[in-house]
Amino acid sequence: MAVALRLGTSRREGSPWLPYLFLAPYLLLFVTFVAVPAVFGLWISLHDWDYMLDSQLFVGLGNYADLFDPTSVIYPDFWNGMQNTLVFTLASVPFLVALPLLLALLLHQKFPGRTFFRAMFFAPYVLGVAVIGLMWRYLLDANFGLVNSLLGTDIAWTTSQPWAWVGLVAVTVWWTMGFNAIIYLAGLGDIPVEHYEAASLDGASWWQKFRYVTLPGLRPVLVFVVVITVLASANMFGQSYIVTQGGPTQSTQTAIMVITDLGLSRFQMGAAAAESYLLALFLAVVSVLNFWLLRDRDAAQQRREARAQRRAVTR
């Protein structure tokens, strides 16, 4: 199959270097800004690193030990940030997985103008977090904000809990809902129409079709959406930075905010690098867990589905 092209590399021009020439520009970037930093970051995390100084103090695993020592200086902020990140992730992911699915189901209907509506619901996402953050900071203002006015409430959305979280989750859902919906839509489009027709012939209700055709068909997409949404939520930064500025009293200061503040504002880069590797480790575990939980059932489900399908076809 690849024979035809192999002639391009080895037979015709004979230069085994050709593929590497094509790869060179990207690999140069990759090595400089991904591969080297990944290792260099580990090296930094083993130091009390202050880039304004000529020499760096090697502290071994000291920074990592500090992250597990409740009396250390960085411990309270880091775990407060981790806890806040967990709260935000747990609070936002269910909405960010479920609501876009409903939106996608709606847009999957056939009606005139669906392309237009699809584009419109995605529109907030093309605006950056800075724009939507400032906009919602204004709309959520406790005194003259439109949200309180429309709801007839008197809530301090940016300076009191739990309302700060409610506001940040709502803003995030509003902002990124279209993104997940588009992914779901593509997944819905890939489910063969025959499956629905077969189910209809069986007299399946709307719910049964959703439960036994749509959901199983979406399973791989669903896994993808859950994994990237968890990662995105765990990376939350801009919304808190702009809307609540981490407040009230650091209660919405996320892990990334803690890391950037420590490393890039207070320049304790060693400790900050250690924090970022620990957080990355957490996220890796969570992602693997997500894949494993959802994949496993997915496979089983598909096997069951295949059996059901065979039965339906033979009937």
Chain residues 286-305 in contact with other proteins, contact rule CB under 8 A: 287
Q: Which uninterrupted H or E stretch holds 47? A: strand 47-48
Find the binder of other proteins among 65, 90, 215, 280 (CB under 8 A).
Answer: 280
Cα 248 to Cα 10, 163, 221, distances in angstroms: 64, 10, 37
Q: Which whole-number Å values give the CA distances from 285 to 85, 250, 279, 289, in the listed order?
A: 15, 26, 10, 6
Site for other proteins contains 135 (CB under 8 A): yes
User: In the complex with other proteins, which residue's Cβ is closer, 208 or 249?
Assistant: 249
Closest to other proteins by CB, 70 or 314: 70
| Chain length of the chain | 315
- Using alpha carbons, select from 182, 185, 215 the residue that is nearest to residue 305: 215
What residues between 22 and 51 interact with other proteins by CB under 8 A? 22-23, 25-27, 29-30, 32-34, 36-44, 46, 48-51
Task: Report d(CA 207, CA 214) in Å as an integer.
Answer: 10
Which of 179, 244, 246, 290 binds other proteins (CB under 8 A)? It is 179
In 3D, which of 97, 294, 283 has the Cα closest to residue 176?
97
N-term to C-term CA, the chain: 39
Q: Is 161 in the site for other proteins (CB under 8 A)?
A: no
309 binds other proteins (CB under 8 A): no
Is the Cβ–Cβ distance between 92 and 169 less than 8 Å? yes
Task: Restricting to residues 225-264, name those near other proteins by CB under 8 A.
Answer: 225, 228, 231, 234-235, 237-238, 241-242, 247-249, 256, 259-260, 263-264
Q: Return the ∠ at Cα 34 (arms to 30 and 40), rounded to 5°.
A: 130
If binding is defined by CB under 8 A, does position 60 make contact with other proteins? no
- List the one residue out of 173, 183, 189, 191 whose CA is nearest residue 223: 183
CB of 198 to other proteins, least distance (A): 19
According to the binding rule CB under 8 A, does residue 109 interact with other proteins?
yes
CB of 9 to other proteins, least distance (A): 5
Alpha-carbon span 216 to 32, nearest angstrom: 42
Q: Is 58 in the site for other proteins (CB under 8 A)?
A: no
User: Shortest Cβ distance from residue 311 to other proteins (Å)?
Assistant: 28
Q: Is 197 in the site for other proteins (CB under 8 A)?
A: no
Of these, 183, 213, 230, 294, which contacts other proteins (CB under 8 A)?
183
Stretch in the footprint of other proteins (CB under 8 A) among 71-79, 90-98, 201-209, 299-307 = 71-79
Q: Is residue 272 near other proteins by the rule CB under 8 A? A: yes
